[in-house]
Amino acid sequence: MRRLAVLSWVVCLAACGGAAARTSDARAIDDAVRAYRAGELETALARSEDARATLPGDPLPREIAARAALAMRRPEVALAATEGAYEEPLVRLRAAAFLARDEYDAAARVLERLEDDPWASAITAIAERARGRSLHDREGATSSTIALREDSALPVIAIHVEGRATLALIATSVHLTVLAPSLRAEHGVADEIALGAMRVRGVPFVVRELDAESAALGVELGAVIGLDLLARLGARIEQGSRLTLGEDASREGIAHATFEGTIVVARMEIDGRTARMLVDSAGAYALAITPSGAERIGLDADTATVRLGDVAITDVPISRDVMDDALEEHVQSAIDGALGWALLASLVVELGPGHVAISAE
């Protein structure tokens, strides 16, 4: 089974459109764009702010500022950058900033300007059910360790959704929690999701058919647990055997959030050359390279040595027909490919708000 492409629309629920049209060749905005695409977020934010001061009518500096701020978990900065915006990319970014603060009502009001938009419809539905409710409240144990199922090629755990037992895929490349129609008919807020000994009350979710994923894995999935909930709880995925929730990430991070904070990209070396890779626990491959990534890195072999911080892994098989350049186009940032579960299962992955660390133990 290759990457679970049918989940890609869930990632795109948080897509904030392509870059707005440029209206100036000023050096500051050129610097900001280059820095953002290189993952140099502080520089991108600083130079976009410089450009905003000299180009007040140009939407691009505002867009880069908002994207960089959201990637660094600074929604208040993104809100300031998009104040009074009406261009669609900026409207989407402003909504994403409100979502980062669990302000679904505010996000829905911003998205009223978009017609027939799946993301806007989902957020509006969630907002209606989240009104007046507290979200992401924890009960029960402060930490919980759950074994990954041994009969699945990807990380799957047993959970309870509002008292109903089901199986959930752990997907770091998906943003919000996903529930199958067998559990809920419409987007909304789950009263309770029990993850082992830990219970989380008020969990926003979207509804999506999971039949294709279930068939591919040979188990019946009722849910997908995405990056938003994993990072909020503090998650540690240990060498393909178990998931521990409620722990602070203890190791130095090697990755940063991008795509408005809804995915994480790890900076690493592949055969001695720097690469930026999506961290994708829902991908059955080890290392997937996009066409643009292969050209940038200069890869023409079937295997490679991957170095993540102090961890070096040799003879990692390369998949070239799994990912195209569409994700890079959405993100407006250079992404060379993805690390999949076939590699991540041999490592330890720690997730926290705005933090990812990958280590050998």
Are 227 and 260 contained in the same domain?
no
Q: Nearest 5°: CA angle at 237, between 138 and 358? A: 120
The reply to whether 48 and 143 lie within a common domain is no
- 85 and 151 co-located in one domain: no
Does residue 273 sit within a domain?
yes
Q: Whole-prediction pTM value?
A: 0.85
Q: Are residues 225 and 278 in the same domain?
A: no
Task: Pick the last residue of a domain from 88, 103, 130.
Answer: 130
pLDDT tens track of the chain, all 361 residues? 434 433 433 343 344 444 444 444 478 999 998 888 777 889 999 999 999 888 888 999 999 999 889 888 899 999 999 999 889 889 999 998 999 899 999 999 999 988 888 889 999 999 999 999 999 999 999 999 999 999 999 999 999 999 999 999 999 989 899 999 999 999 999 999 999 999 999 999 999 999 999 999 999 999 999 999 998 899 999 989 999 999 776 666 666 556 556 778 888 899 999 888 889 999 999 999 999 899 988 888 899 999 987 788 999 999 998 888 887 776 666 789 999 999 999 998 888 876 778 887 7
Residue 291 falls inside a structural domain = yes
Tally of domains within the chain: 3
Q: Has residue 224 been placed in a domain?
A: yes
For residue 34, is it within any domain? yes
CATH number of the domain encompassing residue 333: 2.40.70.10
Query: Is there a single domain that holds both residue 102 and residue 84?
Result: yes
Range of the domain at 45: 5-130
Whether residues 177 and 227 fall in one domain: yes
Residue at which a domain ends, from 104, 130, 156: 130
Q: Are residues 275 and 348 in the same domain?
A: yes
Residue 237, domain member (yes or no): no
